[in-house]
Amino acid sequence: MQTVNIHAAKTQLSRLVDEAAAGQEIIIARAGKPVARLMPLASPPPRPPQRALGILAGQLQVPADFDAPLSDDDLAGFEGR
């Protein structure tokens, strides 16, 4: 385990992160007193599964009048009248 003062940690952060990613624990100290620990993550989070595009291609039909105005009865039903 390596101990580094905070000033050195600021100037060498990239190197310290690389060392931590490789498995080393690093203690960051202020005025000789430990204040933080830099360590590797346990494991990367799992990636979500990839979605397949076009899985329903050819299985659905959109009517030609899908954007036609609603009838008065249908509109009243949606508006709660």
Residue 41 has pLDDT above 90, yes or no: no
Residue 26's domain spans which residues? Answer: 2-38
CATH value at residue 10: 3.40.1620.10
Q: Tokens at residue 80, please?
A: 């709660």
Per the structure, the count of domains in the chain is: 1
pLDDT band at 3 (very low <50, low <70, confident <90, very high): very high
Portion of the chain with pLDDT greater than 90, in percent: 54
Alpha helices in the chain (DSSP H): 6-11, 13-21, 72-79
Residue 46 pLDDT greater than 90, yes or no: no
Rounded to two decimals, the pTM is 0.51
45: confidence class by pLDDT, cuts 50, 70, 90: confident
Cα distance between residue 73 and residue 10, in whole Å: 69
Share of the chain above pLDDT 70, in %: 100
For residues 4 and 27, the answer to whether their CB atoms sit within 8 Å is: yes
* Nearest to 26, CA basis, from 74, 75, 64, 15: 15
